[in-house]
Structure 1
Amino acid sequence: MKKDDREMRRMLGEPKKAIRSLAAALSLSYLVIQLNIFVDTFWTSGLGDMDMTAVSMMSPIYWIITATGVGLGVGAASTISFRIGEGNMERAEKLAANSVVLGLLTSVFVSAAMMLLIDPIIDLMGADEVRDGSVAYVFPFIAMGSALILNGIISGLLRSEGAGRKSMIVLIVSATLNMALDPVLIYGLGMGVAGAGWATSVGALISTALGLYWYMSGRMNVALSFRGFRPDRGVMAEVMGIGGPRTAEALVTGTTNILQRIFIIAAGGTVAVMLYNVPFRYPTLAIVPAEAIGAAMIPVCSAALGQKDTAKMKLGMLYSAKLSIAITSAIALTVFVFADPLMGVFTTSESMASHKEELVWVLRMFCIFIPFDGLRKLGSCMLQVLRRSKLSTAAMLLWGVCKLTAYAAASLYSFEALIIACVGVYVFGGILMMGLSYHVSKKVDERHMPREPGC
């Protein structure tokens, strides 16, 4: 079968055009994923505020599992793109196969750990009143952890050779199946919040199978073959050199999100978790373009680094930052103006309607930090390109500690004080990550390209 290498050649060409092209496809797919989360929230909101609180409580578990796959996918995308830029396709293909095996091994560990930690996490958060709903919602993610993790890795493999459209299709198939199955499983089969979890997991399984089919049928430029496969520690170390710290960064974020619920509950009771999480859906949606730009920048700028063209790499990163600021600022302003009708989507039930005024206020406060949060995500991606993943992880750990400290102090006053602290912490996070990436990029030239062990 003849392979189409146009997307890979575009990735190796002019950086602005390559980033725009890949980011456009990724933005659409990420947008569908976030709309998918909105649909989950919409359907479960009809079950009442307690089930909504259960979903909000367990969302960090889902985040930890999927972010593990995304982290390994970033490691695969960065290292494979770097080798493609060098012209070393044999090494790129070894990286692809070992990334998939690494994902399967990791999924076994993550699922087992999450199964053991569910009840202690609920006890830690003091959320016993929603224990049954929380366990029902999160169990499908644990049972299908391999599909959720491999979904992120396959998407990373596709991006590594510039196949933005195929990466988009994989993510859209997953999200579309989830949206279609939600009402059927939640209400049609009477599964409640468990139905939302199974809908997400089944969608991930089928879309992952599609991505693997493209590789196993020889349609991609980077071959993925397991015939006579033997795990290669050196190759896995190369992926983990970037993917490991990125995954650890995601675990820091997920753990922080779990622990912050202690202070949210202390500030406003169990329902405060819902008051915090539901408006947060919009900032999450608003930074989709920044996340897509960052995901597009990684293979393009990594390939430029592999070509030893640091000027092209820096041009790509600067362009990405400007594009992110412009788009997220415009979205933040729009969300602020239309906050009232936007929150109306989630206040259709009687118990949710009583919270609408406070939900609108929280959303407008969150709009302040949206551009900064986009820069926080983008700065992390820049450090992956620069082979400074460990620095990115250390910075995120520092940010997580600052976040929890600020939330703990604010919880002594009121829920409103905690929201103000949230805004300040996210602004700080954006400034911190972009400052670090700028500092590191200034030191990079053809004679001094920062590397980490295994890279």
Structure 2
Amino acid sequence: MKGITEGVDLITGDPKHAILKLSGPLIVAMSLTSAYNLVDAIWVSGLGGDALAAVGFVTPLFMILVGLSNGIGAGATSAISRCIGAHNKEGVNNTAMHTLVITIIISAVLTVLLELFLYPILSVMGAGNTIDLAMTYGTVIFASTILMLFNGAAYGILRSEGDTKRTMHAMIIAAVINIILDPILIYLAGWGIAGAAWATLISQGIVSLVIIYWFLKKKDTFATLSWKYFKPDMKVSKSILEVGLPASAEFMVMSAVTAILNAILVIVAGTDAVAIYSAGWRVVMMAIIPMAAIGTSVVTVAGVAYGSRKYENLSIAHNYSMKVGLLVAIITSISTFILAPYIAKIFAYSPETAYLAPTIAAFLQVMCVFYIFVPPGIMSSSIFQGVGKGITSLILTVFRQLLFIAIFSYMLAMTLNFGQQGVWWGIVAGDIAGGIVAYLWARLYISRIQKQV
């Protein structure tokens, strides 16, 4: 192929080396992104428990946008990396343009729906006396839908060609701007909870401009965004959506489960339990970032391996990512258990929220068991996304989230009357069961496809 970049040369080589090289920048970028989500929660917690709970009620809907952003990006990564593996440069450019068109259409529809129906949705979710704060935060956040989805799609295109460094730079820009704007807009400008939302919107907008500059002005990416390369083709759209939609649906399933857990927590322990879970889960999401970054790298490597019909590299990528992921998980578990009381105080620095600190710490320590079984689920789902089997990845998520986590949490919290701790241990039990199922399914698939060569 003409114009091969350093990233393309990397992902078409040794799978182990590619996973490590791609994961590094992604870990930095995703950690900073999660960090500014934590910063949002920290600054908002200074406004009181109701404000923190309000963010918690908006979070499931926000996860839908995050899911779509990551899903479209995953679809682009899988489809384009398969084209790269097959040495189809024309397919690379056409797939990138299809990704852009799909992003614009989905963004327009979602923005209208979320802005129109936000209040009734929050009411059904049980926002109660926090609904006004949740509306103030949510209406601004969801105005940035097009920015979030465009950025996620662009990240996916860059990852598909092995350019995770540029992805890292964009995400760092977003994180730094958000972190700087949070205290300014929330407190100095006196915008309160709306200030946190505006900080997110502004930072996403600036990153979108940077990405547009890279693709349309600098023009040094492997994939080229230009209408002259766009040839409407349902097969190309399908190659993106067969991974993108299921990947997005995975986040929607997780969003639905978060809403279910919030509802259970309100019933068994009140809105304080939602605030505790909301704050603690942000820490959990940040803790699993290295594992998620490794999994994201596996999507690209698996796509190239599948496109070039080097199926042995699928097995290598799966086994290697599992080993690295488990090592990271063990280190994360030990560190979190020791540091939990100190981490909890970050969310309880104000007099209004100080009483939440011990319970947040207890939640974080329970989650130490959760981390160990995260790699089997993430790495196995990434293999299926990389080869274009997004539905299989979605099924694994449904098993883990709805059939395991939601049911176990309900049984432990309500049927067996363990209260909010029942929800915590339900999350752990579901993760264990889901991780085992995902790992066995992936090994069976890889073994079967290798026999076809």
- TM-score past 0.5 threshold: yes
Consecutive unaligned residues in structure 2, runs of 5 or more: none
Q: Does residue 226 of the first structure (1) align with residue 230 of the second (2)?
A: no
Alignment of 1:41-190 (within 5 A): 41-190=41-190
- Provide closer, same or farther for how the CA distance between residues 334 and 269 of structure 1 changes in structure 2, counting only shifts above 3 A: same
Q: Check the 8 A contact 1:386/1:440 in 2, yes or no.
A: no
Structure 2: which amino acid aligns with 1:67? G
Pick from 422, 445, 450: which aligns with 1:445? 450
1:436 counterpart residue number? 441
Q: Mean alpha-carbon deviation: is it higher for 93-102 or for 194-203? A: 194-203
Could you say what secondary structure the match of 1:144 adopts?
A: helix
Q: Check the 8 A contact 1:154/1:212 in 2, yes or no.
A: no
Consecutive unaligned residues in structure 1, runs of 5 or more: 449-455
Q: Distance in 2 between matches of 1:212 and 1:83?
A: 23
- Displacement of 1:195: 1.1
Structure 2: which amino acid aligns with 1:236? S
Q: Distance in 2 between matches of 1:376 and 1:329?
A: 15
Q: State TM-score, norm by structure 2.
A: 0.95
- Displacement of 1:231: 3.8
2:207 counterpart residue number? 207
Q: Does residue 426 of the first structure (1) align with residue 426 of the second (2)?
A: no
Q: Check the 8 A contact 1:253/1:400 in 2, yes or no.
A: yes
- Displacement of 1:247: 1.3
Q: Check the 8 A contact 1:290/1:324 in 2, yes or no.
A: yes
Q: Distance in 2 between matches of 1:235 and 1:94?
A: 8
Structure 2: which amino acid aligns with 1:156? G
- Provide closer, same or farther for how the CA distance between residues 302 and 316 of structure 1 changes in structure 2, counting only shifts above 3 A: same
Q: Check the 8 A contact 1:283/1:367 in 2, yes or no.
A: no
Q: Check the 8 A contact 2:141/2:201 in 1, yes or no.
A: yes
Could you say what secondary structure the match of 1:165 adopts?
A: helix
Q: Mean alpha-carbon deviation: is it higher for 174-183 or for 403-412? A: 403-412
Could you say what secondary structure the match of 1:190 adopts?
A: coil
- Displacement of 1:426: 1.9
Q: Check the 8 A contact 1:138/1:197 in 2, yes or no.
A: yes
Q: What is the RMSD computed on CA atoms of the aligned residues? A: 1.7
Q: Distance in 2 between matches of 1:247 and 1:417?
A: 28
1:317 counterpart residue number? 318
Q: Mean alpha-carbon deviation: is it higher for 208-217 or for 51-60? A: 208-217
2:236 counterpart residue number? 235
Q: Does residue 350 of the first structure (1) align with residue 351 of the second (2)?
A: yes
Structure 2: which amino acid aligns with 1:408? Y
Number of residues of Structure 1 aligned to a counterpart in Structure 2: 447
- Displacement of 1:229: 4.4
Q: Check the 8 A contact 2:140/2:198 in 1, yes or no.
A: yes
Q: Distance in 1 between matches of 2:318 and 2:270?
A: 43
- Displacement of 1:4: 7.1
Alignment of 1:349-388 (within 5 A): 349-388=350-389
- Provide closer, same or farther for how the CA distance between residues 265 and 96 of structure 1 changes in structure 2, counting only shifts above 3 A: same
Could you say what secondary structure the match of 1:354 adopts?
A: helix
Fraction of identical pairs, as percent:
26
1:23-52 deviations in whole A, cap 9, x for unaligned? 001000011111111111111111111101
Q: Distance in 2 between matches of 1:194 and 1:188?
A: 13
- Displacement of 1:227: 4.2
1:405 counterpart residue number? 407
Q: Does residue 391 of the first structure (1) align with residue 392 of the second (2)?
A: yes
Q: Distance in 1 between matches of 2:187 and 2:393?
A: 43
- Displacement of 1:80: 0.4
- Displacement of 1:246: 1.0
- Displacement of 1:7: 1.7
Structure 2: which amino acid aligns with 1:115? E
Structure 1: which amino acid aligns with 2:69? G
Q: State TM-score, norm by structure 1.
A: 0.94
- Displacement of 1:5: 1.1
Q: Check the 8 A contact 1:242/1:389 in 2, yes or no.
A: yes
1:267-306 deviations in whole A, cap 9, x for unaligned? 1111110111211222211111111101111112211221
- Displacement of 1:405: 2.2
- Displacement of 1:3: 6.2
- Displacement of 1:184: 1.2
